[in-house]
Homo-oligomer: A and B are copies of this chain.
Amino acid sequence: MSQRNIRVQPTEDRAVEDQDVEIVERKGIGHPDSICDGVAESVSRALAQEYLDRYGTVLHYNTDETQLVAGTAAPAFGGGEVLDPIYLLVVGRATKTYDGRRFPAESIALEAARNYLDETFPSLDVGTDVIVDVKLGEGSGDLQEVFGEDGAVPMANDTSYGVGHAPLTETEQIVLNTERKLNGPYSDDNPAVGQDIKVMGKREGDHIDVTVAVAVIDDYVENMSEYRETIEGVREYVRDLASEYTDRSVDVHVNTADNYDEGAIYLTTTGTSAEQGDDGSVGRGNRANGLITPNRPMSMEATSGKNPVNHIGKIYNLLSTKIAQSVADRVEGIQEVQIRLLSQIGQPIDKPHVADAQLVTDDGVSVADVESAVEATIDEELANITDVTEAVIEGDISTF
């Protein structure tokens, strides 16, 4: 039996899949809040990697604050322009001196932020359309001890809390994949589709409404007719995509605020509403699993940009989701599992104060039937907790 404090118990509530009303939202990678998440996490990864390259260990830093101030733009069919650049302020702390030598934290942050924007937004001219500013304070040297000896498991730096669940409901799968595929294969073939894609799924009983807002890129649409074709294309694509995940009836709504008669459409020059009036900041959008799920407990933690070595809130939110997925994958008879991890400050992070699994089992399966398998899975994942840190630094886990 595990030495860890693991509790497995039934939930008293219905599985979310069975509840009457379900709401799920995802802010795509081009949403101003997600831009900040993505920049913050890129800066974090670049710092961690450079600390590793130079010193063999990740030093203290935290870059979980980025503020975006929207620009002004004049989109136009066939190609408009940015009038006032977007302003992006990267904020945080980092160790700037180690072993008597200076570490170029701000230059690394600046480069990482600019590269991320460059790679993420094909229609954004990072040299002209964005001002990237950086204010990184000096990280506290005192905190370096937290990171411990090589190979040792770090101690929790705070009393914090992570929550994850699996598997995703049909609505969650539709919302998540709608954005990911529109921003992936679909936009490869349809460059008019911008990165600022917001998806809301609302299920009432057995009917799902998927509402998509897509920033259309003006360079690729010459007139209203092409704009409408773009919207119609998205609608059809999402409708087909949704049917892969559900047998429920699905209605897809795209850019519902458009008014063709008044010429009020969602046209952009850069592919993001950050070009015109929409500010953003870290931690205001998607949770660590990429979704906003009001039907489920969520953590307030801003996962992106935090130090993945010892920031317990970041690690536990990512790990609880990973554990839930492992339980759902490996253990038969589970309809829904929610994992909560509560840290104990000053204790090794692989030994949470409590790791708590709440299960909805399939008909005919009792919690007792699966308890030991669930516990073993949780135990194993906790033993491998530092894998999460590595995967984050490698960029193998998304944080928003």
Q: Is B85's CB under 8 angstroms from A110's CB? A: yes
- A294–B89 touching, CB < 8 Å: no
Specify which chain B residues have a CB less than 8 angstroms from the CB of A279 in the assembled complex. Answer: 64-65, 91-93, 137
Docked-complex contact B83 and A106, CB < 8 angstroms? yes
A89 B107 Cβ-Cβ under 8 A: no
Q: Of the candidates B67, B102, B115, B283, which one forms a contact with A91 in the assembled complex, judged by CB atoms under 8 Å apart?
A: B67
Instruction: With both chains docked as a complex, state the minimum distance between the C-beta of A266 and any C-beta of chain B, in angstroms.
Output: 13
| Bound-complex Cα distance A277 to B285 (A) | 24
State A134–B84 Cα separation when bound (angstroms).
9
Identify which of A170-178, A296-304, A324-332, A384-392 touches chain B. A296-304
Output the least CB separation between A256 and chain B (Å). 7
Interface residue tally of chain A, by bracket? 35 or more
Report the nearest B residue to A287, measured CB to CB.
Answer: B300
Q: Which of A72-129 contact B (CB under 8 A)?
A: 72, 74, 81-85, 87, 89, 91-93, 96, 101-107, 110-111, 114-115, 125-129
A211 at the interface (CB under 8 A from B): yes
Query: Per a CB cutoff under 8 Å, which of B14, B107, B129, B282 touches A82?
Result: B107
Determine whether the beta carbon of B294 is less than 8 Å from that of A295: no
Minimum CB–CB distance from A102 to chain B (whole Å) comes to: 5
Q: Is A12 an interface residue (CB 8 A)?
A: yes
> With an 8 A cutoff between CB atoms, is A70 at the interface?
yes
* A250-286 Cβ-contact flags toward B at 8 Å (1 or 0): 0000001100000010000000000001011111110
Q: Decide: A131 and B133 in contact? CB cutoff 8 A.
A: yes
| CB pair B81 A104 closer than 8 Å | yes
Which residues of chain B are within 8 angstroms of A105 by Cβ–Cβ distance? Answer: 83
Contact with B along A120-164 (1 / 0, CB 8 A): 000001111101111101111010000000000000000101010
Q: A134-B131, A161-B23 are in contact. Are A85 and B106 (CB under 8 A)?
A: yes
Most buried by B among A72, A128, A299: A128
Q: Are B161 and A294 in contact (CB under 8 A)?
A: yes
Oligomeric state, in number of copies? 4
In the complex, per-residue mask of A11-31: 1 if CB is within 8 Å of any chain B CB, else 0: 111100000010100000000
Contacts A12-B12, A138-B72: A83 and B67 contacting too (C-beta < 8 A)?
no
Do B13 and A69 touch across chains, with their CB atoms under 8 A apart? no
Q: Which of B70, B125, B137, B281 contacts A277 (CB 8 A)?
A: B137
Contact in complex: B128, A93 (CB < 8 Å):
no
| Shortest distance from the beta carbon of A205 to any chain B beta carbon, whole Å | 12
Known: A82-B107, A83-B104, A83-B106. Contact between A137 and B297, CB under 8 A?
Answer: no
From residue A68, how far is it (CB to closest CB) to chain B in Å? 8
> 18 extra interchain contacts, Cβ-Cβ under 8 A, other than A67-B89, A281-B283?
A23-B161, A65-B69, A65-B281, A82-B104, A83-B96, A83-B103, A83-B104, A126-B127, A131-B133, A131-B134, A133-B133, A137-B279, A139-B277, A161-B294, A294-B340, A296-B297, A297-B297, A298-B300
7 A-B pairs with least C-beta separation? A67-B67, A111-B128, A83-B104, A13-B13, A65-B279, A84-B106, A69-B135
Q: List 25 A-B contacts (CB under 8 A).
A: A13-B13, A21-B342, A21-B354, A21-B356, A65-B279, A69-B91, A72-B102, A72-B137, A72-B138, A82-B104, A83-B96, A83-B103, A83-B104, A84-B104, A85-B134, A87-B135, A89-B89, A92-B279, A93-B277, A110-B128, A110-B131, A114-B127, A131-B131, A131-B134, A142-B264
